[in-house]
Amino acid sequence: MMSGHPVAAQDGDMAEIDDAQLIERANDLFDPIPTEPPELDGNKVTPERVQLGRMLFFDPRLSASHAISCNSCHQMGLGGDDNQPTSIGHGWQRGPRNAPTVFNAVFNTAQFWDGRAEDLEQQAKGPVQAGVEMANTPARAVKTLKSMPGYVEAFGAAFPEEEDPVTFDNMAKALEAFQATLLTPNSPFDRYLKGETDALTAKQKQGLQEFMSTGCVGCHNGVNIGGQGYYPFGLIEKPGADVLPRDDRGRFQVTKTASDEYVFRAAPLRNIAITQPYFHSGKVWSLENAVALMGVSQLGQELSEDEIDRIVAFLQSVTGEQPRVEYPVLPESTSETPLPVE
Ligand code: HEM
Ligand code: HEM
Ligand at shortest distance from the CA of 92: 1
237 belongs to the catalytic site: no
Within a domain: residue 11? no
State whether 87 and 124 are in the same domain.
Answer: yes
Q: Which of 180, 212, 242 is the last residue of a domain?
A: 180
Protein residue closest via CA to atom 22 of ligand 1 = 70
Within a domain: residue 39? no
State whether 176 and 190 are in the same domain.
Answer: no
Within a domain: residue 191? yes
Within a domain: residue 138? yes
State whether 104 and 138 are in the same domain.
Answer: yes
Q: 103 C-alpha to center of ligand 2: Å?
A: 18
Ligand at shortest distance from the CA of 105: 1
Mean pLDDT of 38-52: 97
Contacts of 59 (CB under 8 A, 6+ apart): 69, 330
pLDDT, one tens digit per residue, over 256-286 is 999 999 999 999 999 999 999 999 999 999 9
Q: 261 C-alpha to center of ligand 2: Å?
A: 16
State whether 121 and 223 are in the same domain.
Answer: no
State whether 152 and 265 are in the same domain.
Answer: no
d(CA 299, CA 23): 24
Mean pLDDT of 19-31: 98
Within a domain: residue 208? yes
d(CA 250, CA 221): 21
- Give yes or no for residue 299 CB within 6 A of ligand 2: yes
Q: 114 C-alpha to center of ligand 2: Å?
A: 14
- Give yes or no for residue 219 CB within 6 A of ligand 2: yes
Within a domain: residue 35? no
Within a domain: residue 8? no
State whether 306 and 283 are in the same domain.
Answer: yes
State whether 124 and 201 are in the same domain.
Answer: no
Range in 1-5, 262-266, 285-289 the model is least confident about: 1-5
d(CA 311, CA 93): 35
pLDDT, one tens digit per residue, over 193-242 is 999 999 999 999 999 999 999 999 999 999 999 999 999 999 999 999 99
Q: 309 C-alpha to center of ligand 1: Å?
A: 31
Is-contact 210 307, C-beta < 8 A? yes
Ligand 2: residue of 101, 220, 254 to mutate (most ligand atoms within 8 A of CB) is 220
State whether 164 and 197 are in the same domain.
Answer: no
Q: Which of 36, 48, 118, 133 is catalytic?
A: 133
State whether 192 and 118 are in the same domain.
Answer: no
Ligand 1: residue of 81, 109, 112 to mutate (most ligand atoms within 8 A of CB) is 112
User: Is residue 13 over pLDDT 60?
Assistant: no
Which residues span the domain enclosing 278?
A: 19-30+186-316
- Give yes or no for residue 176 CB within 6 A of ligand 1: no
State whether 234 and 298 are in the same domain.
Answer: yes
333: amino acid identity, one letter: S
Rounded mean pLDDT of the chain? 94
3-class state of residue 264 by DSSP: strand
User: Is residue 247 over pLDDT 60?
Assistant: yes
- Give yes or no for residue 53 CB within 6 A of ligand 1: no
Within a domain: residue 263? yes
- Give yes or no for residue 150 CB within 6 A of ligand 2: no
- Give yes or no for residue 182 CB within 6 A of ligand 1: no
CATH number of the domain within which 213 lies: 1.10.760.10
Q: 287 C-alpha to center of ligand 2: Å?
A: 11
pLDDT of residue 6: 45
pLDDT of residue 16: 83
pLDDT of residue 14: 56
Q: Which of 180, 207, 236 is the last residue of a domain?
A: 180
Ligand at shortest distance from the CA of 210: 2
Ligand at shortest distance from the CA of 289: 2
State whether 55 and 176 are in the same domain.
Answer: yes
The model carries a pTM of 0.95
pLDDT, one tens digit per residue, over 145-198 is 999 999 999 999 999 999 999 999 999 999 999 999 999 999 999 999 999 999
The count of structural domains within the chain is: 2
> Comparing 10 with 318, which gets the higher pLDDT?
318
State whether 196 and 243 are in the same domain.
Answer: yes
pLDDT of residue 110: 93
DSSP states along 23-89 = HHHHHHH--PPPSSPPPBTTB---HHHHHHHHHHHH-GGGSTTS---HHHHSBTTTTTB--SSS-B-
User: Is residue 288 over pLDDT 50?
Assistant: yes
Mean pLDDT of 6-35: 81
Q: Which of 163, 180, 197 is the last residue of a domain?
A: 180
